[in-house]
Amino acid sequence: MNRMPLRRLVVRVAVGALALAAPVALTPTPASAAATDLFFSEYVEGSGNNKALEIYNGTGAPVDLAAGGYVVQQYSNANTTPGLTIPLTGAVAPGDTWVLAYTGTSATPANPQILAAADQTSSSAFYNGDDTVVLRKGGQGGAVLDSIGQIGGFVVWGSGDVTTQNHTLRRKTEVCVGDTDPTNAYDPVPEWDGYPQDTFDGLGSHTATCGGGPVEDDAPAVASVTPAAGSTAPVTSDVTVTFSEAVTAPASAFSLTCAGSAVPFALNGGPTTFTLDPTANLPFGASCTVTVTAASVSDVDTNDPPDTMATDRTWSFSTPEDVDRCALPATKVGVVQGAGDTTPLAGQTTTVRGVVVADYEGASPNLRGFYLQDTGDGDPATSDGIFVFNGGNQDLVSRGDVVTVTGTAGENQGQTQISTDATRVTVCGTGTVTPTELALPMASATAYEQYEGMAVTFPRPCRSPSTSSSAASARSSSPPVGACASRPTSSPRVPRPSPSRRPTPSTA
């Protein structure tokens, strides 16, 4: 926003008196260096809803707030995560200020003098004197440019007339850079002057002894990457590139090769962190190289030159050799199931191997998974079958396949399962499982737990006296508890579901 000349940067130069008796050679005091970025120059914590923050541009160049991803964040009541993030919009001229103000409520609006000075307003409730405010560049997780207060603190900072509660604070004229560490101990006294509550007469202008001239811009650069150079990364890895500032970078600015061949990828993210998402898994046992082409990456600020990266950035990482998953040590399903109602391995990664006894893969309303049963752990109190939820719509296995599965053990709707993905399900051959014969009625409802997910069969005649013929007929697509079964089926707790009885697919 362009303002009147009186609101521009004022550079103060002290000039000593000259003695008339003899000429005196004066050595000028060098001016302070121009600010490298924006910082808070005024803080209003007034009565009622009178709250405002003034941000000063002493860089010597215009600043596009939205393009640079500038945000103000508020950390309240000792929280270490921001409860409010306000993206800033507009442009700040060199030596000018940008005022962000709270509108207040319809019943208690902010003072008209504050609203008249405001360049941007917010209807979200602003800070109190014991809350922390932070100015960032590059979005919510961007670099901290300035802070008032201490993240995690819940006190009024300062002393005397220079406190963060019931005062207006103005940055001292010699301060040209913000407090970039919002986690350290905070005291406003060294850098701020204090004024009585509801002092608004200086809002919208700032005087500083910063040089204020053009500042040489730093070229954008790659700040960090994953996978790191020289590391070994899983074949399922994405590649992330974080730049030192907000940039524009098309997909053609990046290249990814593995074993000498180009790897297709989708480019996501920006303007600071970009992600290369390969369209397929990376090859096993390969050396992969990423290159960022300097000429194709441009910063978004207007302080140019330089505008592009100085040099290309190239680094390499490797992927592990392929593993024979069919030879991996496997945990018995009974150990995963345990003898109780829930798995004793909840949240743990485990590998199991067994025969697919029922296949319910495919998109919802299918269950997106299958039942697997192994040869047993010798404990009749533990089930030898388990449901494997692969979380996708793929058709990975068929009934009778011997498969090795690595995933996370857990519970879903009263049933133990292993949650995995397509990359960790491997078909190792074919096999058979002899169904376990059950006699009805069972001793108790809990007796089914030891057969959960297993292939079972019922001897004839097997209809429970309590099951009417009409009830059995209504469920003819899936033998109910007590009905005859001439072929193996899944556990009575988890029968092959008809559309009316299918369990809700897991979202684990």
Question: What local confidence, expressed as pLDDT, does residue 34 receive?
Answer: 65
Query: Quick one: 362 and 377 in the same domain?
Result: yes
Segment holding 292, helix H or strand E: strand 287-292
CA 249 to centroid of chain Cα atoms: 21
What's the CATH number where 272 sits? Answer: 2.60.40.1220
Q: Which structural domain range is residue 482 located in?
A: 436-489
Query: Quick one: 400 and 416 in the same domain?
Result: yes
**Which of 291-305, 358-372, 451-465, 472-486 ranks highest by mean pLDDT?**
358-372
Instruction: Give the chain's mean pLDDT.
Output: 84
Percent of residues, the chain, with pLDDT higher than 90: 69
Q: How confident is the model at residue 11 (pLDDT cuts 50, 70, 90)?
A: very low
Q: Which residues contact 438 (CB under 8 A, 6 or more apart)?
A: 451, 456, 457, 458, 492
Query: Quick one: 229 and 129 in the same domain?
Result: no
Residue 211 lies in a domain: no
Cβ-based burial of 298 (10 A; exposed 0-12, middle 13-18, buried ≥19): middle
Question: What local confidence, expressed as pLDDT, does residue 393 receive?
Answer: 83
30-64: pLDDT as tens digits:
334 568 899 999 999 999 999 999 999 988 889 99
Residue 164 lies in a domain: yes
Give dist(CA 125, CA 122) in Å, integer. Answer: 8
Residue 363 lies in a domain: yes
Record the pTM. Answer: 0.40
Q: How confident is the model at residue 323 (pLDDT cuts 50, 70, 90)?
A: confident
Query: Quick one: 258 and 290 in the same domain?
Result: yes
Q: Which among 290, 318, 346 is the end of a domain?
A: 318
Query: Quick one: 170 and 65 in the same domain?
Result: yes
Q: Which among 430, 458, 473 is the end of a domain?
A: 430
Residue 504 lies in a domain: no
Question: What local confidence, expressed as pLDDT, does residue 461 receive?
Answer: 59
Query: Quick one: 170 and 254 in the same domain?
Result: no
Among the ranges given (10-14, 130-134, 407-411, 437-441), the one the predictor scored with the smallest mean pLDDT: 10-14
Residue 214 lies in a domain: no
Residue 212 lies in a domain: no
Query: Quick one: 177 and 46 in the same domain?
Result: yes
Question: What local confidence, expressed as pLDDT, does residue 481 receive?
Answer: 38
Question: What local confidence, expressed as pLDDT, does residue 278 receive?
Answer: 96
Question: What local confidence, expressed as pLDDT, does residue 300 receive?
Answer: 85
Measure the CA dihedral 174/178/183/188, to 10°.
Answer: 40
Question: What local confidence, expressed as pLDDT, does residue 501 receive?
Answer: 35
Query: Quick one: 263 and 352 in the same domain?
Result: no
pLDDT for 246 beyond 50: yes
Peptide bond into 505 cis (omega under 30): no
What average pLDDT score do residues 357-373 get? 93
* pLDDT: which is higher, 437 or 475: 437
What average pLDDT score do residues 381-403 get? 94
Q: Which among 430, 448, 481 is the end of a domain?
A: 430
Question: What local confidence, expressed as pLDDT, does residue 216 receive?
Answer: 57
- Count of domains forming the chain: 4
480-495: pLDDT as tens digits:
433 343 334 444 444 4
Query: Quick one: 111 and 163 in the same domain?
Result: yes
Helices (H) and strands (E) in the chain, counts: 3, 33
What's the CATH number where 388 sits? Answer: 2.40.50.140
**What are the Cα distances from residue 131, in Å, to 81, 160, 241, 269?**
12, 18, 33, 31
Cβ-based burial of 282 (10 A; exposed 0-12, middle 13-18, buried ≥19): buried
Q: Which residues contact 385 (CB under 8 A, 6 or more apart)?
A: 333, 354, 357, 371, 372, 373, 451, 452, 453, 454, 455, 490, 491
Q: Report CA torsion sign: 38, 41, 43, 49.
A: negative
Question: What local confidence, expressed as pLDDT, does residue 497 receive?
Answer: 38
Question: What local confidence, expressed as pLDDT, does residue 485 receive?
Answer: 35
Question: What local confidence, expressed as pLDDT, does residue 303 receive?
Answer: 67
What average pLDDT score do residues 63-92 get? 95
Give dist(CA 93, CA 232) in Å, integer. Answer: 47
181-209: pLDDT as tens digits:
999 999 999 999 999 999 999 999 998 88
Confirm if 238 and 225 have CB atoms less than 8 A apart: no
Residue 210 lies in a domain: no
What's the CATH number where 152 sits? Answer: 2.60.40
Under DSSP, is residue 360 helix (H, G, I), strand (E, B) or coil?
A: strand
Among the ranges given (4-18, 156-170, 425-439), the one the predictor scored with the smallest mean pLDDT: 4-18
Under DSSP, is residue 486 helix (H, G, I), strand (E, B) or coil?
A: strand
Query: Quick one: 180 and 40 in the same domain?
Result: yes
Query: Quick one: 10 and 154 in the same domain?
Result: yes
Segment holding 426, helix H or strand E: strand 425-430
Query: Quick one: 354 and 291 in the same domain?
Result: no
Residue 93 lies in a domain: yes
